[in-house]
Chain A
């Protein structure tokens, strides 16, 4: 980050290491107490309570109930990522090819949900999908159903609502990748005789890939640990790992096991992050929002 040494000066000099540390001190102190200490305490519970053991971790993999929750979490996260990618691509593409008012409208449509409370959006989905909700009323009126269909507490509802909530995180990085591709590239490919499909496959897609990877990674990671939407829309029937952790803490008061579940989640998240280290680009969101 500091390849341009003497440009960033105050009073003509770079800050000394001591002064720099002093500036960073409040951050380090806060993160130590509110981030590192809690996580370390929780993981300590999972490994050393009541005595040094890996039994809590083994239990998560040994009991079918818990294994099923973990597999469901992976499956839902993957489905959410795929659906979000499918929905995000046209929006990102249209944004990258619009100017002025069109871009402003599309941008607003993406940013407004990003900044609207997750609870508001989850609540909206519950109102739409409940037994006598809007969707069921429409289905009945259109004659597509004879009786209200059960929509809430199904895996489909969880995937749909989560994809909706996480969509901006997919659109923004893809948009920023597509924006960087000059329009001449695809025009040139078309003039050279490439079909629309091969232009997409040979030109646009490879150039957009960094954005696509970044978006997929972000959505997948967020989906893995998502709590609010699956807890409310999925209910106990569609329990994901975050809901399981919450249940262990609040109802079973089983801190060591909750700690083990968190440990498994963390190992998985960190492994994926490290594997795709270069795709984790927070600045993409900050820059465009």
Chain B
């Protein structure tokens, strides 16, 4: 009982700091207060009127989308090779997969900064896309390894024995069955890129920066109330993305199950 009470207290501790920003962000005064002294959307307007904020948001979205696609494609290929192939040096490759998780981001960030300067990749979409793809890959690979291990190969073999070519069997049987894993992986990758602050902090330049880097600067120099509006919108977006991802995954799982049953019912 006491433990349950403690659990809910910790839950409040987990959620409260982030959620308390929402009511504060609609306060009209420069000095944020709780409860807010009135209601005003001026800090939201300030965000939408500021080209710097909008450009940073757009840049983050672009980097996030490109990294999500690249990481999902590259990660799926690697997961297939790890599960279904005979890969020379497999142990070493598995070590490389978890590398970006074990190595602190500050180490990677500074190291990338050093090399990106020489390659003129700082502040470029290409640089961000590559850096974020590397950071997202471990999560993508692990998600897909789980999906592929769960996958029943007999279904694919059944398709083959019914006369489907390997590519057709892959496209019509394997792909739909691992689709929930692919969606989770892509969503993971997008959020990792979109939220990534440390590498972005170093490889941004004055002109081209991501949203987290812009937020970092703003927090560091002046805690402007615009940030409260941005933080609230980001939290709302996260909740939306989680719900969407969850719903999409459930839908795909249901379809995958239906496909699996249909394949099993076949000859």
Contacts and interface: CB of A to CB of B under 8 A. Distances in A.
A116 B110 contact: no
Given A91-B10, A224-B104, A9 B212 contact: no
B223 A117 contact: no
Contact of B33 (A11, A106, A137, A285): A137
B109 to A, nearest CB: 8
Given A21-B87, A115-B238, A282 B98 contact: yes
Given A23-B77, A106-B7, A225 B104 contact: yes
Contact of A121 (B3, B18, B88, B113): B18
Interface in A4-52: 7-12, 14-17, 19-21, 23-24, 26-28, 30-31, 33-35, 37-39, 41-42, 45
A124 interface: yes
Contacts of B202: 246, 249
A109 to B, nearest CB: 4
Interface string B137-172: 111001101101000010011001000001001100
B81 to A, nearest CB: 4
Interface string B198-211: 10011000000000
Nearest to B191: A115
A92 to B, nearest CB: 8
Contacts of B26: none
B10 A87 contact: yes
A24 B134 contact: no
A55 to B, nearest CB: 19
Interface string B159-191: 010000010011000100000000000001001
A12 B115 contact: no
Nearest to B192: A115
B86 interface: yes
Contacts of A10: 80, 84, 156, 166, 169-170, 174
Contacts of B191: 115
Contact of B81 (A23, A116, A285): A23
Interface in B6-51: 6-11, 13-15, 17-18, 20-21, 24, 31-34
Contact of B17 (A20, A128, A224): A128
Nearest to B215: A119
A262 B107 contact: yes
Contacts of B54: none
Interface stretch (B226-234, B250-258, B259-267): B226-234
A255 interface: yes
Contacts of A23: 77-78, 80-81, 85
A90 B10 contact: yes
Q: Main secondary structure on chain A at its contact with chain B? A: helix
B98 to A, nearest CB: 6
A240 to B, nearest CB: 9
Interface in A244-289: 245-246, 249, 255, 258, 262, 265-266, 269-270, 273, 280, 282-283, 285-287, 289
Nearest to A31: B96
B74 interface: yes
Contacts, number: 299
A134 interface: yes
A150 B182 CA distance: 48
Contacts of B32: 127
Contact of B111 (A15, A21, A42): A42
B115 A17 contact: no
A77 to B, nearest CB: 11
A78 interface: no
5 contacts: A12-B157, A23-B81, A91-B10, A93-B7, A262-B107
Interface of A: 1-2, 7-12, 14-17, 19-21, 23-24, 26-28, 30-31, 33-35, 37-39, 41-42, 45, 87-88, 90-91, 93-95, 105-106, 108-113, 115-128, 130, 132, 134, 137, 164, 167, 221-222, 224-228, 232, 241-242, 245-246, 249, 255, 258, 262, 265-266, 269-270, 273, 280, 282-283, 285-287, 289
Interface of B: 3-4, 6-11, 13-15, 17-18, 20-21, 24, 31-34, 73-75, 77-78, 80-88, 90, 93-94, 96, 98-116, 130-131, 133-134, 137-139, 142-143, 145-146, 148, 153, 156-157, 160, 166, 169-170, 174, 188, 191, 194-195, 197-198, 201-202, 212, 215-216, 219-220, 223, 227-228, 231, 234-235, 238-239, 241-242
Given A112-B15, A283-B142, 10 more contacts: A20-B85, A28-B96, A34-B112, A90-B4, A91-B14, A110-B14, A127-B223, A225-B105, A242-B198, A269-B104
